[in-house]
Amino acid sequence: MTRGLLRLSSDGSEWDLDDLPLGTRDPADRIIPFSQIVGPAQPEPKSEPPSVTRAYEYLSEGIDSELGSMLADGLMVPEGVTVLYGPGGVGKGHVACEAIRHLVLDGPVLIVDYEAHRSEWRKRLRLMLSVEQLERVAYVVPEAQLPKSAVALRDMVREIGALSMVVDSYQAGTPDGRVHAEQADTPRDMFRALAVVGVPTLMLAHVTKSGGDHQPHPYGSVFVHSYARMTWSIARLSDDGDPLTVELRNQKANDRPRDLPRRYTFTYTERRLVVDREVLMSRGDLIASVLRGQKAWLMPAAIYTLMVQLGVLPDDMTVQHIGSLLRNDKGDRFERSAEGWKVKVGRHA
């Protein structure tokens, strides 16, 4: 007789058929009923994935003629996906936390972390946000890759009322990690999934260190660059052990003018993570900005107030006026360097 084990469902015990007394092997009334045997687990029947097609809408309905205001202190567009990319360990996560610090002022934020770095997000954000703000940041490690999680993430966003999302990272969220430039289906499915979720998203992405700083495309893929509404490349300027200083360059802005390069410096203190931001401008950029009057914050407040009181509009200013402004900058807002002018924008402690 072939030997075999029968496992009882009631107590989990196992009997070997050859160990049973001779008189009890064959009669049917001594055979354990099939319903009591725990067999090998059977695969769950496959169900069809829910449809991700939403109702159509006419472009004339509820669409403003103007582009929405930028988000996260000018780092993100409100109408789609912003990609922040650079080599591993360069500081993308710190910049993302700085973006979240601004995003929570408008509403809840969902962090979708395929790299499972919960402790890092928590450590940094606890040093940057108040308790009330931290309670507006939700965190999830999805069980499935992004194209298969779109509907679940959309429901989660609606449940918590999230107005924005941060995804870490593009490669980890893809079905098979394909990154080659000639493959268009993976980025297509990834960005289509983000469109289903339907909130402005900051997507972190990697490039290889061998490609150097400020590579033109995330992952070396022109398709990721094309699908994104805005892209930033990031490079680390500081050495290990120093306060972390990174530089961001706006590589793509679609319908918007490209933003000027910016620098972030992150300094850890005992209780806070202090963030300084600077905008890098050439003298020509600075002059043009003030002449256009689009960035009045470039001028010291006292000078700007006086000019308004005197009725001197920014359009009436000349290069000589700006030169005088720079020479008499009592607020130390402008700093000249070999790279151009650095405009000190602000500090968060």
Q: What is the mean pLDDT of the chain?
A: 76
> Is pLDDT above 60 for 297?
no
Rounded mean pLDDT of 242-270?
Answer: 91
Rounded mean pLDDT of 258-270?
Answer: 91
What is the gyration radius of the CA atoms in the chain, in angstroms? 29
Helices 283-292 and 319-327 cross at an angle (nearest 10°) of 110
**How far separated are the first and last CA of the chain, in Å rounded?**
78
pLDDT digits (tens, 9 = 90+) for 124-133: 999 999 999 9
Rounded mean pLDDT of 192-214?
Answer: 91
Distance of alpha carbon 214 from alpha carbon 228, whole angstroms: 17
Domain boundaries, the chain: 5-36, 81-265, 283-348
Burial letters for 45-75: b for 16+ Cβ neighbours within 10 Å, e otherwise?
A: eeeeeeeeeeeeeeeeeeeeeeeeebbbbbb
Q: For 81-265, which CATH class? A: alpha beta
Q: Is 228 left (phi over 0), alpha (psi -120 to 50) or beta?
A: beta
What is the structure's pLDDT at 326?
58
What is the structure's pLDDT at 31?
40
What is the structure's pLDDT at 243?
93
Calculate what percentage of the chain has a pLDDT beyond 90: 44
- β-strands 164-168, 14-16 pairing: unpaired
Query: Does 213 or 273 have the greater pLDDT score?
Result: 273
Answer whether 147's CB lies under 8 Å from 175's CB: yes
Both tokens of residue 22?
A: 């001779």
What is the structure's pLDDT at 186?
87
pLDDT band at 63; cut points 50, 70, 90: low
Answer whether 306's CB lies under 8 Å from 299's CB: no
pLDDT digits (tens, 9 = 90+) for 305-343: 554 454 443 444 454 555 565 555 555 566 666 666 666
Both tokens of residue 225?
A: 């660059």
Distance of alpha carbon 65 from alpha carbon 68, whole angstroms: 9
What is the structure's pLDDT at 130?
95
